[in-house]
Amino acid sequence: MLQVSGTQLVTGGGTPVRLRGVGLGGWLNMENFITGYPADESSMRYAVRGVLGEERAELFFDRLMTSFFTERDAELLAGLGMNCVRIPVNYRHWEADDRPFEIDPRGFRHLDRVIGLLGERGIHSVIDLHALPGAQNQHWHSDNPTHVAAFWQHRHFQDRAVHLWETIADHYRDNPWVAGYNPVNEPGDRTGKVIGPFYDRLVKAIRAADPQHVLFLDGNTYATDFSIFREVYENTVFVMHDYALAGFAHGGPYPGYTRGEWCDRDELERTFAKRSRFQRETGTPLWVGEFGPVYTGDPDVDAQRLRILRDQLAIYDEQDVGWSLWTYKDVGLQGLVHASGPYLDRFGAFIAKKRRLGADRWGSTMEEAADVLAPLHALIETEFPGWEPYPWGARYQSDDLIRHILIAQALLPEYAELFRGLGDDELLALADSFLLERCVRREPLLDLLADNLTR
């Protein structure tokens, strides 16, 4: 079992370990920009079931879970020199909203399989609950169909999360290849008053079920605010996320200005120092749970994005920081590898339409359909100049409500209809488009990571 010892993670024999690897986004917690659908996962699954029916939808999704990560994926990551995979999961694999507190043990099937594949190759797993009952943050990646993080408003949702973590911790309590538990990804408690007491309660519950494994705890406001912690828990890593402004879809150039803010290597280092202040003051390990730029297909722009990543990795190396790059596999925006074949043949035009409309927040430049939306943004700025909604202000909130919820949900029937008329073999071929041997590799990114991890 890995343990926290001062500012480091160490093995049972006391050898320091710096966890460096990748996030397995879009798998047990699906995301729109990763696998090409619109809106949030549960809304997408509902729409697809409406077209395929329960049994055939299950056939497709289960095969997708199997094909998305196999022995070959584990071998690729081990060959790069990675020793950690952060695995995001959705609570709905274990518990249905209409049957709260009833745990379905089948939820462990794929997770056990992948943790085993990784462990056989010397790679640790961090289990990350990315979507909690009621949604712990305001965005699609917590499987939230709205902009309200209801988790913090209802004790019922919190009770269910504690119960689920007791189950997960009991299941993995003796597994040495589980590095630890990341119980709440990117919490967004608007008041900042509920999360601290909830963490106190959750830590005690997990420790009662499993006293050994490391806890990886995100700060509030999407792993950026650590003032909510009322104590420094033992055997705990406090997790920050470190996305560079210039690396977003609307970012750049690099070095240069993004939305009026200068970004270069020095600024990356200053930002990281600010984001990691709590860890330095408390003498706890430095580990970045998510970071990484998105890519555009433009060679010049993507060269700048790789420079951002290279600079961030250099900063982490200089300061002995562990990290988990976001993300491993997708349909072309950010992954180390991306799907091709039947899935892209069938959904490629739809994905292009999403991009044209800016329907996915992670892929949006915030300028799509500007002729339609710019007057609305101007109206809001003029009429409500003091409006600063949590977490990121008026401009982002407006886009979230219009593009990433309204437009994204309007796209759901169109996505689901693309499954209509397909036979079982065709559904399986779509899912198998995510097999590593059928994926396209982002070679410059793989080369950069291999060079960093092996020297």
CA angle 259, 444, 365 (to 5 degrees): 25
Q: How far apart are CA 141 and CA 157, in angstroms?
A: 17
Are 219 and 180 in contact, with CB atoms under 8 Å apart? no
Biggest CA-to-CA distance, the chain: 63
Q: How far apart are CA 453 and CA 309, in angstroms?
A: 13
Options 186, 231, 383, 417, the catalytic residue: 186
DSSP per residue, 239-263: EEE---GGGSTT---SSEEETTEEE
Are 147 and 122 in contact, with CB atoms under 8 Å apart? no
Helices (H) and strands (E) in the chain, counts: 17, 16
φ and ψ at 102, to 5 degrees?
-95, 105
CA distances 445 to 244, 303, 309, 332, 344, Å, are 17, 10, 9, 13, 21
φ and ψ at 21, to 5 degrees?
-175, -140
Q: How far apart are CA 361 and CA 19, in angstroms?
A: 29
Is 290 part of the annotated catalytic residue set? yes
Q: Please provide the size of the chain in residues.
A: 455
Nearest to 22 by CA among 431, 452, 341, 440: 452
SS3 label, residue 190: coil
Options 234, 290, 367, 388, the catalytic residue: 290
Helix (H) or strand (E) holding 236: strand 236-241
CA angle 325, 327, 331 (to 5 degrees): 155
Question: In this structure, is the dihedral angle defined by the CA atoms of residues 398, 400, 401 and 403, taken in order, positive or negative?
Answer: positive
Other CB atoms closer than 10 Å to residue 59's CB: what's the count?
A: 16
CA angle 389, 394, 397 (to 5 degrees): 80
Tokens of 20: 């460096």
Are 49 and 353 in contact, with CB atoms under 8 Å apart? no
Are 84 and 322 in contact, with CB atoms under 8 Å apart? yes
- Which active-site residues does the annotation give? 186, 290
